């Protein structure tokens, strides 16, 4: 067994074009060759399996090995994707983008050269840019596919490879069966080819600035110039969002934000945050400190590739309250419903099953079609006729004619416009919240995430829950459990458990699709009493449920 893994590691080393990963793998092989158990176990972890190419593409830590992100794996992925595109079209094409993470440009250049070498027209974006610009470019250029090199909000040492399809897929992320077909081609390349022998060409195009200019123009045109400008702080969390977001804000009439200078430029080390995810505790502390100093009314944050949006407002205690993805999603959904009914009677509001039922309530009130989907924006963005979509993990799609993926920059602009309109009308944000509760009911949500170091722990947790489902959560009885393992209603099989409680509350348990976590989504609502009473009751139900579910997954 040790000899097998050593042979696999040496074969990998023989085709690795990256000096850094070659050096660290050579050192690991040398130690493992002495019989060292730790080094041997590390080789097994790296070579006994591969990073799975699925609907999220690839994502993992940058190191040598088939179960890591590196130039060998990316070359195999690019060649496999090229083979898939060539098999489907006579003249396939691809646009490639990249963010500021370690090796992002290297992986993008490898992809461009390998695509061109395989006979695929390849267009490389002019420099590091946000994921929404790449998603826009797929439709803008009318290409067969798009590749974005990013690990979004993953830990600093990670990188990833996200794939979009054009044509009938309208620039959305890949879903089955395309993901399996691409994965099959990648595995064929890995089994049959040395990546150093794959044909390469420098005959690829570099897009001009017009693609970014057009994204900025169309995004800024989503809203009217504000009568009053909110004072707001912006952070890019060491990512690539600021240049594009700044241009959009200024062009739309909101002026330049106050910036968190320590986090505004791309930095692959992410030095000021433990995890570059605006949902993580502490990630927005610098933004909050700055906002308090300057007397800001709002904090706007994008994640490192700017496809997500976080919003925070001052709280009554003099601190800052980060709004949940569900609340931002519901408020932007209300705004979208107003837009739809002002322009015509038809529209579709979309969210995923783990997101709040609040958007469904908005759709009912406005007599609009509502659709919920499996978790992941790849599903949300594909609903026919979508007018607006969101997912609780800070992802919002406010302009599906332009982009078919979550877009943290256009969502930030839409929220700024909402805030400015409330301010100019003399309505406080707190009153707007009460107005929502009055009209649609009060909705509250929470999430419990359990991060694991051993991925095998995740299926053990899910198996334990299925074998011993709770009859009560706190003081409230569980009236129904929906297990998606074999498919449920219109949904295909998935590792999801949904619990309905007697008071109408809902709890969903599922593994994360992008991180080593088990996630629990908790939702409660109330339509009883005044707006303040509704809000208080929904919040109290959430607090009780949050305490009750933690023992289930820990």
What span, in angstroms and rounded, lies between the C-alpha atoms of 495 and 510? 6
According to DSSP, the residues that pair with 506 across neighbouring strands are 500, 523
C-alpha closest to that of 307 among 245, 356, 265, 232: 245
According to DSSP, the residues that pair with 94 across neighbouring strands are 122, 145
Tokens at residue 313, please? Answer: 């407002």
At 120, give phi and psi (nearest 5°): -100, 130
At 272, give phi and psi (nearest 5°): -100, 0
Give the orientation angle of helix 19-33 with respect to helix 2-13, to 10 degrees: 160
Reported as type and span, the H/E element at residue 244 is helix 242-251
CB 397 within 8 A of CB 406: yes
Residues with Cβ within 8 Å of 193's Cβ and at least 6 positions away in sequence, in order, are 76, 79
Catalytic pick among 66, 93, 144, 152: 152
Reported as type and span, the H/E element at residue 31 is helix 19-33
What span, in angstroms and rounded, lies between the C-alpha atoms of 73 and 531? 54
Residues with Cβ within 8 Å of 497's Cβ and at least 6 positions away in sequence, in order, are 462, 465, 466, 469, 481, 482, 483, 484, 508, 509, 510
CB 442 within 8 A of CB 534: yes
DSSP-derived letter for residue 227 is S
According to DSSP, the residues that pair with 509 across neighbouring strands are 497, 520
* Residue 386 buriedness (CB in 10 A; 0-12 / 13-18 / 19+): buried
387 catalytic? Reply is no
Residues with Cβ within 8 Å of 375's Cβ and at least 6 positions away in sequence, in order, are 352, 353, 354, 391, 496, 510, 513
| Residues acting as catalytic residues | 152
């Amino acid at each position: 067994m040790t000899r097998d893994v050593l042979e696999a590691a040496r074969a990998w080393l023989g085709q690795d074009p990256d000096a850094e990963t070659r050096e660290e793998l050579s050192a690991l092989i040398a130690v493992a060759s002495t019989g060292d158990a730790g080094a041997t176990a590390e080789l097994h972890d790296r070579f006994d399996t591969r990073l799975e190419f699925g609907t999220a593409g690839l994502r993992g830590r940058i190191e040598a090995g088939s179960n890591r992100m590196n130039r060998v794996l990316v070359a195999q992925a690019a060649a496999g994707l090229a083979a898939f595109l060539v098999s489907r079209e006579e003249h396939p094409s691809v646009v490639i983008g990249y963010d500021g993470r370690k090796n992002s440009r290297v992986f993008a250049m490898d992809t461009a050269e390998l695509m061109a070498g395989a006979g695929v027209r390849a267009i490389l974006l002019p420099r590091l840019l946000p994921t929404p610009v790449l998603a826009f470019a797929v439709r803008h250029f009318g290409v067969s596919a798009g590749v974005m090199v990013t690990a979004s909000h993953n830990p600093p040492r990670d990188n990833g490879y996200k794939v979009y399809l054009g044509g009938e897929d309208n620039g959305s992320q890949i879903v089955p069966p395309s993901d399996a077909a691409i994965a099959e081609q990648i595995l064929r390349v890995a089994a049959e080819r040395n990546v150093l022998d794959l044909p390469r060409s420098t005959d690829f195009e570099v897009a001009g600035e017009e693609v970014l200019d057009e994204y900025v123009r169309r995004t800024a045109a989503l809203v009217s110039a504000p009568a009053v400008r909110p004072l707001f702080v912006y952070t890019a969390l060491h990512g690539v969002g600021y240049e594009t977001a700044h241009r959009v804000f200024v062009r739309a009439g909101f002026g330049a934000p106050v910036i968190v200078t320590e986090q505004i430029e791309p930095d692959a080390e992410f030095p000021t945050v433990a995890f570059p995810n605006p949902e993580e505790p502490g990630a927005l502390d610098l933004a909050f400190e700055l906002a308090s100093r300057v007397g800001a009314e709002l904090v706007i944050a994008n994640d490192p590739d700017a496809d997500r949006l976080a919003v925070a407002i001052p709280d009554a205690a003099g601190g800052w309250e980060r709004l949940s993805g569900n609340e931002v999603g519901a408020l932007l959904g209300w705004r979208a419903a107003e837009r739809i009914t002002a322009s015509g009677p038809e529209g579709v509001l979309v969210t995923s099953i783990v997101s709040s039922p609040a958007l469904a309530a908005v759709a009912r009130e406005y007599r609009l079609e509502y659709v919920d989907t499996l978790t992941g924006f790849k599903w949300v963005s594909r609903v026919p006729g979508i007018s607006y979509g969101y997912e609780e993990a800070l992802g919002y799609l406010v302009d599906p004619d332009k982009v078919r993926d979550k877009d943290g920059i256009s969502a930030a602009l839409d929220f700024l416009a909402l805030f400015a309109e409330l301010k100019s009308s003399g309505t406080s944000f707190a009153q707007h919240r009460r107005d929502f509760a009055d009209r649609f009911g009060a909705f509250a949500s929470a999430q419990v995430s359990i991060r694991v170091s051993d991925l095998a722990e995740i299926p053990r947790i899910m198996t334990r829950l299925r074998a011993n489902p709770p009859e009560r959560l706190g003081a409230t009885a569980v009236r129904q459990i929906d297990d998606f393992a074999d498919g449920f209603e219109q949904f295909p099989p998935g590792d999801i458990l949904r619990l309905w409680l007697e008071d109408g509350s809902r709890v969903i348990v599922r593994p994360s699709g992008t991180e080593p976590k088990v996630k629990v989504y908790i939702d409660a609502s109330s339509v009883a009493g005044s707006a303040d009473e509704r809000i208080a009751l929904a919040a109290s139900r959430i607090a009780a449920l949050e305490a009750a579910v933690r023992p289930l997954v820990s």
